[in-house]
Structure 1
Amino acid sequence: MSSENPKMDEIRRSVDESYGRIMDLIETRLKKLDHDRLYLPPAENEWSVMQSLAHIEEIMPYWANEIEKLVGKPGQKFGRVMTDEARLRAIAEHGDDELAQAETVLPASYARMKEVLAELTDADLTKTGVHSKYGERPLEWFMREFVTDHLKNHITQLQECLVAISLK
């Protein structure tokens, strides 16, 4: 039986898979890592494991809320840029958290994203918003850029960070 919303099904599957991979990394790799290495940046101007996790914790509810607002009122301003104060503050305030705290916060962060995605249809993906850097784009583009690909990129970043800090 085919789905009435195959694009949304794929987005939900991608987010579920990314969340599972993040939690698996915590369980199988990060919990076994020497505590101090969690806070060690792999290189200058790069995030530590814990800074990356702090960012992931923050982006899921942030983008879920932005998506929800855009679906409710298409055409409005959408998103933020990398220099956004709240984005940077979340990393600064939580980049030194303990791994157990991140492991506790991530499920609620993911649950908020999952809650919003559960309500969306493929028709919602055509609604547009206006980003200060990228201009007017459909929600489908925003979700790929800021949610699905963004999460995948941070998983890659975490994996690369683990390799780099293991060599130090």
Structure 2
Amino acid sequence: MTVVTVNQSIQAINNSIDAILNVSESLSEETIRWNPTNEEWSILQIISHLNEAVPYWLNEIDRVLAEPGAQWGRGLQDAARLAAVANPNELNISEQFAEFKELKQKVADGLGSLSEENLKAENPHRNFEKFGNKPISFMIEHFLEEHVEKHYSQVQRNLSKLD
């Protein structure tokens, strides 16, 4: 992954954020809070999750760059991850959307200054058997770029299930 590709990743992440905003900002509160099933998140939960997850991964990249060889990653049962979606009735839609819009600048700030050397730096995942040693570029592609894009697809899937 080169610096050009970093810029492309920033743009792709921001495009997915914009796409989520474009399809969801004008929806009713009822639709934003609606869960298609008990196992699926509402659009508001998706946004709250991304508001927690994107900064987590940006911080994780900073941390492993500062601590070469440090383990990275977290499990699905991570307390902060679960808390972001645990009480959707307590989430303020306006605040969540405002925070979500700020992610674009956080992504640009967090990734924009990474060098080619930074992108190649490898660290072991906490679940080494699953991921092994991976470079920072993998973290960007998988846990930021693809992650936000998949949640845009989830928003679209939610909307397709409306009556």
**Alignment-derived partner of residue 91 in structure 2:** 97
Shift of 1:93: 4.4
Match among 114, 127, 142 for residue 121 of structure 2: 127
Task: Give the Cα separation in 2 of the matches to 1:163 and 1:119.
Answer: 39
Cα distance in 2, alignment partners of residues 95 and 129 from structure 1 = 38
Alpha carbons of 1:157 and 1:78: their partners in 2 closer, same or farther (altered >3 Å)? same
CA contact (8 A) 1:63 1:146 kept: yes
User: Does the aligned pair in 1 maintain the 2:33–2:88 contact within 8 Å?
Assistant: no
**Residue 47 of structure 2, aligned match among 36, 50, 53:** 53
TM-score by length of 1: 0.85
Q: Which runs of 5+ in 2 are unaligned?
A: none
RMSD: 1.8
User: 1:141-160: per-residue Cα shift (whole Å, max 9, x none)?
Assistant: 12111000000000000110
Give the whole-Å Cα distance in 1 for the aligned partners of 2:132 and 2:36.
Answer: 33
Q: Can you list the C-alpha shifts for 1:55-108, whole angstroms capped at 9, x where unaligned?
A: 011111111111111222222111212111111012224564232121111133
Q: Which residue of 2 aligns with 1:20?
A: 18
TM-score (norm 2): 0.87
Corresponding residue of 1:157: 154
CA distance in 2, matches of 1:58, 1:94: 14
Residue number in structure 2 paired with 1:8 = 6
Moved more, 112-121 or 141-150: 112-121
Match of 1:32 in 2: 27
The 8 Å contact of residues 50 and 95 in structure 1, kept in 2 or not, is answered as no
Q: Cα distance, 1:162 vs. partner?
A: 1.2
Whether 1:42 and 2:31 are equivalent positions in the alignment is no
Q: What is the percentage of aligned positions where both structures have the same residue? A: 24
Report the counterpart of residue 108 of structure 1 in structure 2: 102
Q: Is 1:139–2:136 an aligned residue pair?
A: yes
Native 8 Å contact 1:131 1:137 kept in 2: yes
- Specify every segment of 5 or more residues in structure 1 that has no aligned partner in the other structure, as ranges: none
CA–CA separation in structure 1 for the residues paired with 2:124 and 2:152? 27
